[in-house]
Amino acid sequence: MQGLPGYVVLLLCLVWVPCTAAAPLHHDLTVALHPDTHGIEIQDTITLTGSNIDSLVFSLHPELLPELVSPGAHLSSMPVLKNSTNNPGITPKRYRVTLAAGANSFTLRYQGNIRHALQQRGEDYARSFQQTPGIISPQGVFLASTSFWYPHIDTGMVTFTIDLQLPADWRGMSQGERLSHVATDTSASEHWRSTTPQQEIYLIAGPYTEYETTENNVQAMVLLRQPDPALAQKYLDTTHQYIELYDALIGPYPFRKFALVENFWETGYGMPSFTLLGSRVLRFPFILHSSYPHEILHNWWGNSVYIDYQSGNWAEGLTSYLADHLIMEQRNRGSDYRRTTLQKYTDYVSQQDDFPLTEFRSRHGARTEAVGYGKTLMLFHMLRRQLGDATFTAGLQSFYDQYQFRVADFAALQASYSATAQQPLNQFFSQWVERPGAPQLRVNQATATVRGDGYRLSADIEQTQPAAPYVLQVPVAVHLDGMSKAYQTDIHLTKRHETLNIDLPARPLQLDVDPEFDIFRRLHRNEIPPAVSQAMGAQQVLIILPAQASTDFQGAYQALAESWQQEKPEQVDVVFDDALERIPDDRSVWLFGWNNRFRPQLKLALQAYDFEDAGNTIRIEQTTIKPETHSLVVLGRHPQEPDQALGWLVAGSPAALPGLGRKLPHYGRYSYLAFTGTAPDNVLKGQWPVVNSPLSVAVIQNDGAKIKPGPARLAPRKPLAPATESLSVNGTRKPHGQIH
């Protein structure tokens, strides 16, 4: 999920199954949880709706031994299929049930324990996360399709009811709506019902304090592990705010409730009608208007219009575009968000590691996120610019209306948008969905010639990528002499070289191509500042440790370096500075430590920026950094090879390094960072200015006139949807219903 640093990994559908518009299976589940013993007791009556099947096969957790209690039916074991799932934690057992003649339902009874420890997952150094296929414990319960806690039958989607028995102070959560909750001194019971087709059944439970409000027939719920009415109110208000926004933009919210549930380990899972966030995650103040609306929006894309994973996951990019990007648009920072998106792609995805959107299933690290989220997000942005806001929004609404509670793929999106726009879009979708890679652009020369009462601007625009040219609609802006507003238009590129000719009423001073980052493309290094992501995304990285550091510092630096190396042993090397004559120029380099002998190289790398190394202190712009009080991270370009990054990482104390290592990947777009304390706490962050962009050029005057080039003001843009009227001027929601 874009916008939530590292702790968050969306879990939309844990196991893909083929889906249709109707649900051929209905489960009536009676469930008793015994958290102290990790136990569960279940009776499940499975009804085949609209089917005429006399036998079927199902899979179940190996610790749950089923007993068939339906007269006339027969249950038999089947061979286990090794590696039949993508779940390394569980190999389910398989059974065949033969129904009684004329029957369309059967009942199973089973019990056992489910207890799978949290495991580290993640492909990027310092950015791994924990997950479990399923757990029942005194801290809480997490059961999903990966748990195989109910019979898995590969015949499509399901509807269900759950009669749930819990400890007295516990509450449960699942899809659909809770019809009742009754608590006594010794136990609690709940009844859940989901009438809309679902791809799987979730069951979450724990010792929660519950808060809820209802607006426009949608119930907002918050389940916290410790009472916190103020925090709950913020989430309840924000829930209604964004449901209101997306109702207007896309169509009616597809469920009766949306719930925030606090998990007992750090997660950022999004399930139909609820989200499961870790304690630390949900208390970050920025989550309310970044990742939280992303989770809410997934109930339109991914949790009600389902994803055909076999042909590519379109929903993550669309959700990022209509949540993370839209929120930045509403703050007049859409171009900043798009530049960061393209920067991640440029830094993390090499040409040999690229892949088409048809191969994206889910995020497994920065590389897959940059393509699956970033490229798909930009696809929808380019489609919007090509069709216009009104047609783009109408296409969203038509697509949602047509595919709600059905599976959709990129072909369905293309067909829906082609019908709405009344034009074929096969070339557009084929180019961006099926083709790996991205275009690269350059302006070779721009000249101005007097032409009658005005001027003609001529320029050579080149696509420099090794692969074949793309078909592009590229915005350009021209700064005209004596005019504060830029002249703006779009140019159509289809060939390797295109000659741009524009007749203008005044002398053109500067030409900017794609000035607001509207095209998905691989950026030139001079379009983006040196950043953490450039070093962490490099194919090869060398970490140079300070041999002259104290024993405590040396050990802490080495531990951090080796933890990064362990994540990517083939890409990360570690060496002490006294073992090298010079820093290599064939890879990105991290210098660790204040007294690293290669520290003077940093002055060369940062000579174009407002950076001063005074020996005992560092000054970045107007901030002074001292070694005894601050931890610091600074990025520049390698002095001998600008395509490589040179980073410097230092800590105020050895105790600060573990926390610094955990936090650093979450600040990927920044050029410099300063922290204090052992947590450590961020006190400074920023980006170096962009210099010498190959897409922003001064116009050569053929008549020899002396000019002063510079960018002109671009026309303001409206966001795809305005912030809801229930927002006050300062961004907080006007008070509505109070929690109870």
Q: Is the pLDDT of residue 167 over 50?
A: yes
Least confident of 118-122, 486-490, 609-613: 118-122
pLDDT band per the 50, 70, 90 thresholds, residue 725: low
- What residues contact 419, with CB distance under 8 A and at least 6 apart? 398
Q: What local confidence, expressed as pLDDT, does residue 89 receive?
A: 73
- What residues contact 590, with CB distance under 8 A and at least 6 apart? 535, 541, 542, 543, 544, 561, 647, 648, 649
Q: What would the two tokens of residue 502 be?
A: 């524009």
Q: What would the two tokens of residue 339 be?
A: 């530049």
Q: Is the pLDDT of residue 541 over 90?
A: yes
Q: What would the two tokens of residue 383 be?
A: 């489609």
Task: Report the distance separating Cα 47 and Cα 103, nearest Å.
Answer: 9
DSSP 324: I
Neighbour count for residue 381 (Cβ, 10 Å): 24
HEC sequence for 193-211:
EEEEEECCCCEEEECCEEE
pLDDT band per the 50, 70, 90 thresholds, residue 718: very high
Pick the CATH number of 532-686 from 1.10.490, 3.30.379, 3.30.70, 1.10.287: 3.30.379
Q: What local confidence, expressed as pLDDT, does residue 710 receive?
A: 85
| Domain ranges across the chain | 25-207, 305-434, 441-528+692-701, 532-686
* pLDDT tens sequence across 236-246: 999 999 999 99
Q: What local confidence, expressed as pLDDT, does residue 1 receive?
A: 39
Q: What percent of the chain has pLDDT over 70?
A: 92
Task: Report the distance separating Cα 357 and Cα 317, nearest Å.
Answer: 10
Global pTM reads: 0.86
What value does the mean pLDDT take over residues 230-253?
Answer: 97
- Rounded to the nearest 5°, which phi and psi values hold at 347? -80, -35
pLDDT band per the 50, 70, 90 thresholds, residue 86: low
Q: Is the pLDDT of residue 289 over 60?
A: yes
Q: What percent of the chain has pLDDT over 90?
A: 80
Q: What local confidence, expressed as pLDDT, does residue 570 receive?
A: 87
Q: Which CATH class is domain 305-434?
A: mainly alpha
- What residues contact 331, with CB distance under 8 A and at least 6 apart? none
Angle (CA) 328 333 337, round 5°:
70
Q: What local confidence, expressed as pLDDT, does residue 4 receive?
A: 33
* pLDDT tens sequence across 488-515: 999 999 999 999 999 999 999 999 999 9
Q: What local confidence, expressed as pLDDT, does residue 455 receive?
A: 98
Q: Is the pLDDT of residue 719 over 60?
A: yes
Same fold, 25-207 and 441-528+692-701: yes
Three-class secondary structure of residue 326 per DSSP:
helix
- Rounded to the nearest 5°, which phi and psi values hold at 457? -95, 125
Longest CA–CA separation in the chain, Å? 97
pLDDT band per the 50, 70, 90 thresholds, residue 130: confident
* pLDDT tens sequence across 343-376: 999 989 998 999 999 999 998 888 999 999 999 9
- The residue that leads in pLDDT, 251 or 84, is 251
Q: What local confidence, expressed as pLDDT, does residue 81 receive?
A: 79
Q: Is the pLDDT of residue 587 over 50?
A: yes
Q: Is the pLDDT of residue 603 over 50?
A: yes
Q: Taking Cα atoms as reference points, which of 476, 483, 475, 477 lies closest to residue 507?
A: 483
- The residue that leads in pLDDT, 615 or 2, is 615
Three-class secondary structure of residue 527 per DSSP:
helix
Q: What local confidence, expressed as pLDDT, does residue 94 receive?
A: 96
What value does the mean pLDDT take over residues 625-637?
Answer: 91
What value does the mean pLDDT take over residues 721-734?
Answer: 57
pLDDT band per the 50, 70, 90 thresholds, residue 581: very high
Angle (CA) 281 285 286, round 5°:
85
What is the Rg, in whole angstroms, of the alpha carbon atoms belonging to the chain?
28
Task: Report the distance separating Cα 652 and Cα 657, nearest Å.
Answer: 9
Q: What local confidence, expressed as pLDDT, does residue 124 receive?
A: 55
Q: What local confidence, expressed as pLDDT, does residue 15 receive?
A: 31
Evaluate the omega torsion of the peptide bond into residue 254 and state whether it is cis, within 30 degrees of 0: no
Mean pLDDT taken over the chain: 91
Q: What local confidence, expressed as pLDDT, does residue 17 receive?
A: 34
- Residue pair 245/724 in contact (Cβ under 8 Å)? The answer is yes
Continuous H helices in 298-371: 315-320, 326-330, 334-348, 366-369
What value does the mean pLDDT take over residues 665-685?
Answer: 93
Q: What local confidence, expressed as pLDDT, does residue 18 receive?
A: 35
Three-class secondary structure of residue 24 per DSSP:
coil
Q: What would the two tokens of residue 226 be?
A: 């410790």
Task: Report the distance separating Cα 97 and Cα 108, nearest Å.
Answer: 10
HEC sequence for 439-498:
CCEEEEEEEEEEECCEEEEEEEEEECCCCCCCCEEEEEEEEECCCCECEEEEEEECCCEE
* pLDDT tens sequence across 439-455: 999 999 999 999 999 99
| Amino acid occupying residue 506 | A
What value does the mean pLDDT take over residues 615-621?
Answer: 91
- Residue pair 122/128 in contact (Cβ under 8 Å)? The answer is yes
Q: Is the pLDDT of residue 67 over 80?
A: yes
What value does the mean pLDDT take over residues 38-48?
Answer: 97
Task: Report the distance separating Cα 606 and Cα 568, nearest Å.
Answer: 28
Q: What would the two tokens of residue 547 be?
A: 């041999």
DSSP string, 406-435: EEE-HHHHHHHHHHHHTS--HHHHIIIIIS
Task: Report the distance separating Cα 300 and Cα 209, nearest Å.
Answer: 28
Q: Is the pLDDT of residue 517 over 90?
A: yes
25-207 carries CATH number 2.60.40.1730: yes
Distance, C-alpha 558 to centroid of its chain: 31
Q: What local confidence, expressed as pLDDT, does residue 555 receive?
A: 96
Three-class secondary structure of residue 501 per DSSP:
strand
Least confident of 164-168, 347-351, 627-631, 731-735: 731-735
Domain boundaries 441-528+692-701, corresponding CATH code: 2.60.40
What value does the mean pLDDT take over residues 630-634?
Answer: 95
What value does the mean pLDDT take over residues 329-342?
Answer: 95
What value does the mean pLDDT take over residues 567-580?
Answer: 92
Q: What local confidence, expressed as pLDDT, does residue 5 receive?
A: 32
Q: What local confidence, expressed as pLDDT, does residue 12 receive?
A: 31
* pLDDT tens sequence across 173-183: 999 999 999 99
Q: Is the pLDDT of residue 220 over 90?
A: yes
Q: What local confidence, expressed as pLDDT, does residue 3 receive?
A: 34
